[in-house]
Amino acid sequence: MLLRIDPASSVPLFEQLAASVRSEASRGNLRAGDRLPAARDVAGSLDINIHTALRAYQLLRDEGLVDLRRGRGAVVTDRVAHYSELGEAIPRLVASAKEIGVGVHTLTAMIRQEYGS
């Protein structure tokens, strides 16, 4: 489990942390039943506030990627399989967007638009 964040980035810390976990999931480095490190530990090693780490975990719980229970921590759910599926489709779209010079903001905005309709 390689969790990384960049304090200098404009992306919120909790989003970065959640993205880092998703990235592990989409690369197949996480399996259903695996347990993520305790929020307090993550906060300690990344030098962020516990609440910030918890918020990332809660975001992942809302997505359904992990179950969150007191005393037990964050446990990866079955849905992790879906993430590795997307882990193949997404790079293709991103690659073609980069080729034609469409930026990340534009791409995500177009996806939001398509998703909403």
Which residues in this chain contact DNA in the complex, by CB under 7 A?
A: 10, 12-15, 36, 38-41, 48-52, 54-55, 57-58, 61, 68-74
Using the contact rule CB under 8 A, the part of the chain among 12-20, 32-40, 41-49, 67-75 near a second copy is 12-20
What are φ and ψ of residue 60, in 5° steps?
-65, -35
Q: Examine residue 110 and tell whether it contacts a second copy (CB under 8 A).
A: yes
Q: Cite the beta strand spans of the chain per DSSP E.
A: 35-36, 66-69, 73-76
d(CA 16, CA 72): 23
Q: What is the x/- site pattern for a second copy, positions 20-49, by CB under 8 A? A: --xx--x-----------------------
How many CA atoms are closer than 13 Å to the CA of 13, on its beta-carbon side?
A: 14
CB 56 within 8 A of CB 14: yes
To DNA, the closest distance from the beta carbon of 13 in angstroms equals 3
Site for a second copy contains 82 (CB under 8 A): yes
Q: Answer for the pair 44, 37: CB distance below 8 angstroms, yes or no.
A: no
Task: List residues near a second copy by CB under 8 A.
Answer: 11, 15, 18-19, 22-23, 26, 63-64, 79, 82-83, 85-86, 89-91, 93-94, 96-98, 100-116
